[in-house]
Each structure stands twice: as C-alpha cells, then as structure tokens.
Amino acid sequence: MTLEKRDLYRLPWSKNDNPIAWLEVTDICNLRCEGCYRQRLTGHKPLEQVKEEVLFFKRWRNPDNVSIAGGEPLVHPDIVEIVAFIAENGIKPVVLTNAAKLTPEFLRELTRAGLAGFTVHIDSHQGRPEWQGKSEAEHNELREYYARMIAGQRGLIAIFNSTVYPSTYHEIPDVVRWGRANLDKVDGLVFITYRTFDTEARVGIDASGEEVDASRLSYSTHGFDEEFVTSPEVYQIVKECAPEYEPSCYLGGTIRVDSFKWLIGVMVGSKHEMYGSAGAKTMELAMAGHHLLYGTYPAYVPQLRATPLLFLLAPWDRGVRQAMKRRLADVARHPGRLFDRIHVQTIGIIQAPDAQPNGQADMCDSCPDMTVWNGTLINSCRMDEYRLFSGMLSMAEKGKETAAEQTEASGEGR
Ligand code: SF4
C-alpha cells in the first residue's frame, strides 16, 4: 500500500496552538540509549525554572499535555511537585521515561499528584544492564511488566515507544504483536526512526558559517554506512503483521513535500479481533471537536473516553464504517462477544530529522516536541546544538565547499 497525503488528515497543529509541550526537567539519565539526543551538561533544572517554563507553555503553546522529558525525568528530585504543578494549571502531565526507576509506590505518588500517563521508552539499544544482547521480542517481557504496573492505576495512559535502528527494523512486528496482545493495557505504540550525524562523511557548520566539532553531540557517530529507515517503510512492515492498521493523519516535513514525519493510526478492536482503523474524518472531528469544547487540540485521550463514541462516527468515516461492519459480523458469528469491551490503540511513526543536500535538515512541520530555550521555542531534538553551538548546525559533505564558502567565492553578499 502506498501512502497518499490526500487520503490523510494533516494535523492542524502549529507553534502557538499545539497539543504537546516538551518540558525538559533534567539532562541526567540512568541509561545510555544509542539514539539519545541529550547529553549531561547542566543537570537538574531548579523547580522555579521548571515552573516558569510550564507557565511559558501555558501562555504561548496552548498545550493539552506537557511531556515531562529529559534526560530521565523520574530522577529529578522534584518530579512529584512538577507533575502536581502542571496538573494544577489544567494541563495533563505525561512523563516520558525509561521507567527504570518506576516502582508501584512511586507510581501511586505520581498518580496522586495528577499524572495523566506515561510514554515508556523501551528498546534493545539502551544499555540496560540485565538486557544486553536481548532482542525486541525478549524486551516485551519488560514492556509487559511496566504495562501491568501502569494498568494497576486506573485511567492512566500507557504508550510504549522504541527507536527503530536499521538492525532492529525487522523486529517491529514482534512489538506490534505484543501491543495487540495487550490491547486492554496499552494505549499506543510509537516507533521513532534512528538518525545520526555522521562525522566521517559530514562536517557541522554553525550560524556564523564556521566549522565546528560536531563529534561533541551525543547523536554523532564516526562512520555510518547503513540505510536509515523511513516512516513509509515502518508503515509497510506494520501493515504486514497488522493489516487492519491504517494511518489517518500526518505531519509533513519543513523542507520536503513528500516526507511523512509523523504518521498516526488509531486501531479499533476487542480482545478477540482487530476490526480496523479510524479514518481521516474521525481525526478531523476529534481535533475540531476537542478544540471547540476544551480550547486545545488533543494528543492523548484515555480509552475510557475515546471508545464508546467511536462507532457513532461511522456515517462520516469509511474506516470506522468498515470497522463497525467487522464488529457486527464478529458478534453475529460469536454472540457471546457482544459485551466484549472495545479498545482503541494508536500506532505512531516518527521520522527524525533528515539531512538534505543543501545542508539543512528536514524537520517535522509544526513540531509537537518544541521546548523552551532562552525565551523562545525550539525543536527539542536539536537542543544540544543550541547548548553547545548557540544554534542549529547545518551540514556539509566533507571535501565539498560549504554554502558560506560558495557565497564568498562567488562574490555574493559584498
Ligand atoms: S522536529 Fe520536533 S517532533 Fe520532529 S523529531 Fe525533532 S523534536 Fe521531535
């Protein structure tokens, strides 16, 4: 199946009206993920600074949720107070964590403070001491442990994300099948494609046109000769093991017209069968309706609120109509399933920044993961370029003239 943008809903998110705000509370972490964008430079942010950033988001971002990120946010000494402060401000606090520090007691404390849910990052390239050399399928045991723990607190959202490396791409179906088997506990899966700055092939150029040492970035490697995985490829492999999966909405790229930087599909099913995926109209109605009722676009909707309403959209949405027909056929064949609970589960695919021939990177258009930097909003995945080099780098292939050098040589700008 080929992805066509005209069949999908382009999410209406923008810089000033976006469901997600990315709050970085620390750059300290207790793991070492291969694909991490952050390195330890400044440590934990003081609570007062964190609160100021939350208020900044409230004023300039209009978020439905704040993604509390890092580093590893659960190692911040004031994390419970941070969660409570966000909730008091009428925004859903969602913790993005590797969960290594999560215990049932800690979970109860966070829930009492007003936590809305988690995005738990688990994959096989995180350097977890007891999981070295284990496959994605084997890591499902760890995913399941945390899924069960989170499900113990009713109403919490549980999303599981993993970075997709060229070497783990073929293991995606193992994670999708695990999500399917845990439909009652897992609200969504997210696959983020790995990208790196290859310092063997390219040099980094700062805003003044000077060459800088890009190997200082945690996301640089010296030599990378594998093919980066793209979102349409992730889509294809998900389809192979979950034919009922179909994305309904997307975000494109800031440079390329044909990139799918974010793809989101919402599957509908019961514990016995997956019925299909909601279509573009459902997403459009969900976005517009939520904005009309609550003043914000939604990013995370708990199953309890999403599910019963979904089949009502069948007259408008072909995907929901097809899912409803399969549901009715299933119940006709197995009347005992009439009272089966219906679940929704999202699968999101994110294609990280891609270097372009002009030296710039194709970023996610209307980036949902913008964070605060010096009184403005920047893409969180590039924040270390701001921290180390005062702004985003451009790239030049080694041995080729940079754009600045070309301009100088041609005499332009004199
Ligand atoms: S551009 Fe934004 S959404 Fe895309 S990878 Fe970077 S931070 Fe995430």
CB distance 69 to ligand 1 below 6 Å: no
Give me the residue label for tokens 């009439």: 338
User: Within 13 Å and on the Cβ side, how many CA atoms surround 375?
Assistant: 0
Burial 252-273 (b: 16+ CB within 10 A, else e): bbbeeeebbbbbbbbbbbbeeb
Atom of ligand 1 nearest to the CA of 379: 7
Pairing assessment for the beta strands 361-362 and 354-355 based on DSSP bridges: antiparallel
The mean pLDDT value for 122-132 works out to: 96
404 pLDDT higher than 70: no
CB distance 172 to ligand 1 below 6 Å: no
pLDDT tens track for 349-374? 999 999 999 999 999 999 999 999 99
27 pLDDT higher than 60: yes
pLDDT score recorded for residue 226: 87
Q: Give 370 Cα–ligand 1 centroid separation in angstroms.
A: 7
- Mean pLDDT for all residues in the chain: 94
Mutate to test the pocket of ligand 1, among 20, 196, 369 (most ligand atoms within 8 A of CB): 369
Name the residue with the closest Cα to ligand 1, atom 8: 369
Reference 161, options 384, 342, 348, 394; nearest CA is 348
CB distance 168 to ligand 1 below 6 Å: no
Cα(242)–Cα(176) distance, integer angstroms: 8
pLDDT score recorded for residue 282: 95
Report the percent of the chain where pLDDT is more than 70: 95
CB 346 within 8 A of CB 278: no
Cα(382)–Cα(370) distance, integer angstroms: 10
Beta-bridge partner residues of 118 = 95, 158
CB distance 364 to ligand 1 below 6 Å: yes
Residue 235: CB partners within 8 Å, gap ≥ 6? 1, 3, 247, 260, 263, 349
Token pair for residue 407?
């301009």
Confidence of residue 225 (pLDDT cuts 50, 70, 90): confident
Report the percent of the chain where pLDDT is more than 90: 91
Give me the residue label for tokens 């080694």: 398
Q: Give 361 Cα–ligand 1 centroid separation in angstroms.
A: 11
Phi, psi of 76 (to 5 degrees): -70, 130
Mutate to test the pocket of ligand 1, among 24, 195, 259, 261 (most ligand atoms within 8 A of CB): 261
Reference 361, options 273, 288, 253, 270; nearest CA is 253
Peptide bond into 71 cis (omega under 30): yes
CA gyration radius, the chain: 22
Cα(234)–Cα(263) distance, integer angstroms: 10
The mean pLDDT value for 389-407 works out to: 77
pLDDT score recorded for residue 309: 79
The mean pLDDT value for 264-284 works out to: 96
Token pair for residue 277?
């995926």
406 pLDDT higher than 70: no
Burial class (CB in 10 A: 0-12, 13-18, 19+), 24: buried
Cα(146)–Cα(159) distance, integer angstroms: 11
Pairing assessment for the beta strands 197-198 and 220-221 based on DSSP bridges: parallel
Confidence of residue 247 (pLDDT cuts 50, 70, 90): very high
Cα(201)–Cα(345) distance, integer angstroms: 40
pTM for the model: 0.94
Cα(135)–Cα(4) distance, integer angstroms: 33
CB distance 147 to ligand 1 below 6 Å: no
Q: Give 261 Cα–ligand 1 centroid separation in angstroms.
A: 8
Q: Which of 3-12, 275-284, 403-412 has the lowest mean pLDDT?
A: 403-412
| More confident site: 244 or 412 | 244
Task: Give how far Cα 44 sits from Cα of 53, 70, 78, 192, 196, Å.
Answer: 14, 9, 9, 26, 26
Give me the residue label for tokens 């659960």: 74
User: Within 13 Å and on the Cβ side, how many CA atoms surround 409?
Assistant: 7
383 pLDDT higher than 90: yes
347 pLDDT higher than 80: yes
The mean pLDDT value for 304-319 works out to: 86
- Say how many residues make up the chain: 414
Q: Give 379 Cα–ligand 1 centroid separation in angstroms.
A: 6
24 pLDDT higher than 50: yes
CB distance 380 to ligand 1 below 6 Å: yes
Cα(253)–Cα(239) distance, integer angstroms: 23
Which helix (H) or strand (E) element contains residue 10?
strand 9-10
CB distance 35 to ligand 1 below 6 Å: no
Reference 248, options 228, 233, 262; nearest CA is 262
Confidence of residue 258 (pLDDT cuts 50, 70, 90): very high
Rounded (to 5) percent helix, strand, coil in the chain: 35, 20, 40
Confidence of residue 414 (pLDDT cuts 50, 70, 90): very low
Q: Give 134 Cα–ligand 1 centroid separation in angstroms.
A: 28
Residue 101: CB partners within 8 Å, gap ≥ 6? 30, 72, 74, 75
